[in-house]
Amino acid sequence: MLEKLYRLIWKPVGRPFTYILRDSWVRYEILWILGLLMIGGFLGDKFGFLNVLKYEGLIFIGIVIGHVWWGAKHILGQKGD
């Protein structure tokens, strides 16, 4: 059911968002790394490093983003089904 919902969301775009994110990572890797470091620095400064680690939502987001790079082989410009 969730797969059908996800497919309805990305069909108008023409490609799954995971493929778009993966292409973006390959093309702009240094910007992604710098951006993630800046976000981590901001959150660590604002809430304290140990408190940031307690946010289960951040861990969940990391797991979801990690799945973008696992699984199917990366093909630049890959289309969906």
pLDDT in tens, 18-53: 888 888 988 998 898 888 878 877 877 777 766 666
What CA dihedral angle connects 68, 20, 72 and 80, to 10 degrees?
130
- For residue 6, the model assigns a pLDDT of 80
Name the residue among 58, 62, 67 with its Cα closest to residue 17: 67
**pLDDT score, position 31:** 92
The pLDDT, as a whole number, for residue 70 is: 67
Does the pTM of the predicted model rise above 0.95? no
